[in-house]
Structure 1
Amino acid sequence: MERVLFEEHRTDRPSNQRWELHDDLAEVICRCENIWESLQGARIFLTGGTGFIGCWLLEALRHANRQLDLGLQVTILTRNLSAFQTKAPHLASYGSFRFIAGNVADFAFPGGEFSHLIHAATDASADLNERNPRQMFDTVLLGTRRTLDFGLAKSVKRCLFLSSGAVYGQQPWELEQVPETWTGAPDCVNPKNTYAEAKRAAEMLCSIYYKQFGLEVSIARIFALLGPYLALDIHFAAGNFILDALRGRPVIVQGNGRPCRSYLYASDLTVWLLHMLVRGQPGKAYNVGSNETVSIAELAERTARLIGNGEFQVLNAGDTGWNPGRYVPNTDLVGQELGLYKTVSLDQAIVRTALWQGWNKQGD
């Protein structure tokens, strides 16, 4: 069901400030003005279309198709269409979207011609990474190879692979923002790094297919995100904090709160990815994220102040996550080459994500 309009009522924001998802989508349409012609009549194959990023891509493509009469069609590979029909029926029932059932590692190639490919399918579950790392590795690597083989078989002209900032491994504390040229790497004998190593190997596959077969693949190394469709109850700290605040509880930081992150809002993410699909240089990786650093403790405090009761706690438990340090990208390259920049602040990203989840306090 499409979300309704909410109004922000906190006294520390401008009165009558309003937000709805339609506003974000209108902004995406405007900021992608110079690429829609390239997508006129496009036939796009999308893996991972029912996840957080996939939903945003589908929202934007549906909106552009309706507003601009692009005549584009999207075929979406999914493991569970019925779940997606419950999650986003307006997307699942849209006439220009076709859903096919299958696993990314061995799906049957659908018939028809395709001009563009977006490979977003992955399972970034921290639980799976801990419980069944071999399955995690196979899903990322075999799924990427199968999808690239599909691109070759269909003579797809433009491909975009969604990788991860995790490929850099542990970012040194003294390196405030990690650039694409940094050659650090995860510890390859630590199974906690299974997801990161799989993404590194998948990037190499993309490079091989470009060099050996001429398949034009651009790579997006995605860092932490916020926005509608974000799951609040899994391993993402920002989502957990928003959920605590929405339930009227103190925002809880399990660890010491010192790790540093940054968060790109989903509308900015969508603009960047669509531009990379059309304009990204083949064989090149681009960081996709915010360069605004925030510690986990600061994020908890900010979330509690913006949408909660102002209370937060840092429990100082042992940090068992894959990255207890910095995870902040340098985004100069995407700005210089593609003219792309962050437009939504962290505070706005937190508030809009909460509004999507139904936060609409009266009289704060």
Structure 2
Amino acid sequence: MARERILVTGGAGFIGSHLCESLSKRFDVVALDNFATGRKENLEGLGVEFIHHDAIEPFPEEIGRFDFIFNLASPASPVDYQNLSIQTLLVGSLGMKNALDFAEKSGARLLQASTSEVYGDPLVHPQKEDYWGNVNPIGPRSCYDEAKRYAEALCMAYSRKGLPVVIARIFNTYGPKMRLDDGRVVPNLVGQALRGEPMTVYGDGKQTRSFCYVSDMVEGLESLMFSDISGEVFNIGNPEEHSIIEFAQIVKKLSGSDSEIIFKPLPVDDPRRRKPDISKITATLGWRPKVKLEDGLKKTIEWFKKRVMG
């Protein structure tokens, strides 16, 4: 019996490549990416088919039919999406429509990788799926926040017409295969610690984030995709909340670094608190994160060490 086929858009990215690796053990997997922020080396040795394509353009029919589509195509770090602001808005609109149209033609079920950024700088804590958010629609982060909010609306419009679609709001995720230069807090602090450079904390460091190890995230995404749930939104993340200054001190300790911690001005619209309420996915599918922060960071630091120190 032929194995089911899965398309992962953004498959050469950080989370996308981990997802491809996990899925390839049970399915025929095709990764689609334009390398705007993804990297070919992330897919090396995984045994997945690769298609170089920009999701903003209609998907080529010759790639065939698929049973499932994970749509992860989008820049995801502030540095990337602010440098690629127009492309980010287009992949969240045209790219999302292309993925949904292709799913419709294929008879495929689609999972949209959304983001906790749809909550903006939240006034409700922790954030539940029924919270509508506090987003600046014209700020420097709006290209990403609003692209993802629009993509969710488009998914729900297709879902109401019968397409099986589920939306995952992904909170901060970390692990091997992150780019050292992607500007997010984990590669920033780990890279600085390993190079012996001052470790940069923005603002007073009291703002919080919740960090989910990538293997837990992949399990959460798969549990959603392979359920029979459609037309719903689920938070996926680790609800253990840490201040950024506390997180920097953990990174410093685990990396054995002598770096000093320095403070710089907080970027515009940077969220003050971010913590997922995951009670919905836990109650519905039994998913919860398993990897403790220090265990995940040790693996991440070891991976970065090979890149920083050769």
What's the TM-score once normalised by structure 2's chain length?
0.91
**In structure 2, the residue corresponding to 1:44 is in which secondary structure?**
strand
2:58 aligned with 1:109: no
The alpha-carbon deviation at position 153 of structure 1 amounts to 0.9
- Aligned equivalents of 1:263, 1:102: Cα separation in 2: 31
Structure 2 partner of 1:25 = none
Counterpart residue identity of residue 187, structure 1:
N
CA contact (8 A) 1:76 1:99 kept: yes
**Which of residues 118, 124, 141 is equivalent to 2:93?**
141
The alpha-carbon deviation at position 188 of structure 1 amounts to 1.9
2:71 aligned with 1:119: yes
Structure 2 partner of 1:150 = 102
Counterpart residue identity of residue 110, structure 2:
C
**In structure 1, the residue corresponding to 2:222 is in which secondary structure?**
helix
CA contact (8 A) 1:170 1:186 kept: yes
CA 1:164–1:215: 2 relative to 1, 3 Å: same
Structure 1 partner of 2:219 = 271
- Aligned equivalents of 1:132, 1:335: Cα separation in 2: 35
**In structure 2, the residue corresponding to 1:103 is in which secondary structure?**
coil
**In structure 2, the residue corresponding to 1:327 is in which secondary structure?**
coil
The alpha-carbon deviation at position 342 of structure 1 amounts to 1.1
- Aligned equivalents of 1:309, 1:131: Cα separation in 2: 31
Structure 2 partner of 1:27 = none
Counterpart residue identity of residue 90, structure 2:
D
CA contact (8 A) 2:55 2:91 kept: yes
- Aligned equivalents of 1:256, 1:239: Cα separation in 2: 19
Aligned Cα root-mean-square deviation (Å): 2.2
The alpha-carbon deviation at position 258 of structure 1 amounts to 1.7
Structure 2 partner of 1:45 = 7
CA 1:40–1:57: 2 relative to 1, 3 Å: farther
**In structure 2, the residue corresponding to 1:279 is in which secondary structure?**
coil
The alpha-carbon deviation at position 322 of structure 1 amounts to 3.4
Structure 1 partner of 2:171 = 223
- Aligned equivalents of 1:108, 1:77: Cα separation in 2: 11
Q: How many residues align?
A: 305
Counterpart residue identity of residue 259, structure 1:
Q
**Which of residues 171, 178, 185 is equivalent to 2:122?**
171
- Aligned equivalents of 1:321, 1:109: Cα separation in 2: 42
Structure 2 partner of 1:343 = 290
The alpha-carbon deviation at position 128 of structure 1 amounts to 4.8
**Which of residues 301, 313, 320 is equivalent to 2:249?**
301
CA contact (8 A) 1:164 1:222 kept: yes
Counterpart residue identity of residue 135, structure 1:
Q
Map residues 182-331 of structure 1 onto 2, 5 A cutoff. Answer: 182-212=131-161, 214-279=162-227, 281-309=229-257, 311-315=259-263, 317-331=264-278
The alpha-carbon deviation at position 267 of structure 1 amounts to 0.7
CA contact (8 A) 2:14 2:42 kept: no
The alpha-carbon deviation at position 279 of structure 1 amounts to 0.9
CA contact (8 A) 1:167 1:196 kept: yes
- Aligned equivalents of 2:201, 2:65: Cα separation in 1: 49
Structure 2 partner of 1:74 = 29
CA contact (8 A) 1:256 1:314 kept: no
2:309 aligned with 1:354: no
The alpha-carbon deviation at position 192 of structure 1 amounts to 2.7
- Aligned equivalents of 1:355, 1:124: Cα separation in 2: 23
The alpha-carbon deviation at position 130 of structure 1 amounts to 3.3
Identity, % of aligned pairs? 31
The alpha-carbon deviation at position 187 of structure 1 amounts to 2.1
Gaps of 5+ in 1: 1-38, 66-71
CA 1:128–1:238: 2 relative to 1, 3 Å: closer
CA contact (8 A) 1:123 1:140 kept: no
Counterpart residue identity of residue 262, structure 2:
V
- Aligned equivalents of 2:271, 2:137: Cα separation in 1: 17
CA 1:308–1:244: 2 relative to 1, 3 Å: farther
CA contact (8 A) 2:174 2:186 kept: yes
The alpha-carbon deviation at position 87 of structure 1 amounts to 4.2
What's the TM-score once normalised by structure 1's chain length?
0.78
Structure 2 partner of 1:5 = none
CA contact (8 A) 1:301 1:310 kept: no
The alpha-carbon deviation at position 132 of structure 1 amounts to 5.0
CA contact (8 A) 1:178 1:328 kept: yes
CA 1:184–1:79: 2 relative to 1, 3 Å: closer
CA contact (8 A) 1:233 1:240 kept: yes
Kindly report structure 1 stretches of 4+ aligned residues shifted beyond 3 Å.
Answer: 83-88, 127-132
- Higher deviation after alignment, 136-145 or 175-184: 175-184
CA 1:252–1:193: 2 relative to 1, 3 Å: same
The alpha-carbon deviation at position 281 of structure 1 amounts to 1.6
Counterpart residue identity of residue 28, structure 2:
Q
Gaps of 5+ in 2: none
